[in-house]
Amino acid sequence: MKRIAIYGKGGIGKSTTVSNLSAAMAQMGHTVMQIGCDPKADSTRNLTEGEAIPTVLDILRRDGDAELSDLVFKSRSGVLCVESGGPVPGVGCAGRGIITAFEKLEALDAYAVYAPDVVLYDVLGDVVCGGFAMPIRGGYADEVCIVTSGEMMSLYAAANIARAVKSFDVRGYAKLRGLIFNAKNFEGEGELAQTAADEMDVPILFHIARNPCVQQAEKQGRTVVEAFPGSDMAKEYRTLATLLLSGMTGATDVAGEAR
């Protein structure tokens, strides 16, 4: 089982990236579980026809307990979808909600029951403390990737995440794999992102070009990989999926060369 945590500042396109990677990996023949770790609980919407699935915290608040079938939803593309959820607005800590969700999935032996080949954690990266650091320091993830554009606030958040991962790395926790550059397409953006990556001493793993078919797919409540499978953008996501899964065996490769 390969476990990858994907962090990034809110609004940077992280959930769009993660859900397209999940769909691409599922098409490759992998059993994929995507766990949304954002109180907005919108990580998996593009996998579930735009519909929100019940969150772990909502179910526990309502029923007091839960079975795995209450928490894990299989998308049309075969991705196992989980949303941790968050506290009632204005009450409680969102990070604590992630911890509760992780502990409940573990108590129910979710990973043994579903036996995923890949687990993708979609984690809000505006802060890297408490529950938001669980995939890094809790032994849940093996690798961390950071989605960023060349915008200053996005790069600032990426630098904070990179520092956090590196500080835990010395204790044998998750390794920082690199940056996923999700371009906004403004002048000089690539140079800004590369300069920041050099300062962080982190490689840019992949450059995702801006493409209107992303928004067109999201209007349908779908991933690009499902809505426009023959598009250049779908090929980009499949290529990135292949890159992130490098070293794994036992599934069919999808055409596309890793960069």
Positions marked catalytic: 9, 14, 40, 126
Provide the β-strand partners of residue 5. 121, 144
Provide the β-strand partners of residue 2. 118
Question: Could you tell me if 14 and 212 are in contact, meaning their C-beta atoms sit under 8 angstroms apart?
Answer: no
Helix (H) or strand (E) run with residue 11 in it: none
Query: 3-class SS at 132?
Result: helix
C-alpha span between 201 and 174 (Å, rounded): 17
C-alpha span between 169 and 174 (Å, rounded): 6
Instruction: Considering only CA atoms, give the Rg of the chain.
Output: 17
Contacts of 163 (CB under 8 A, 6+ apart): none
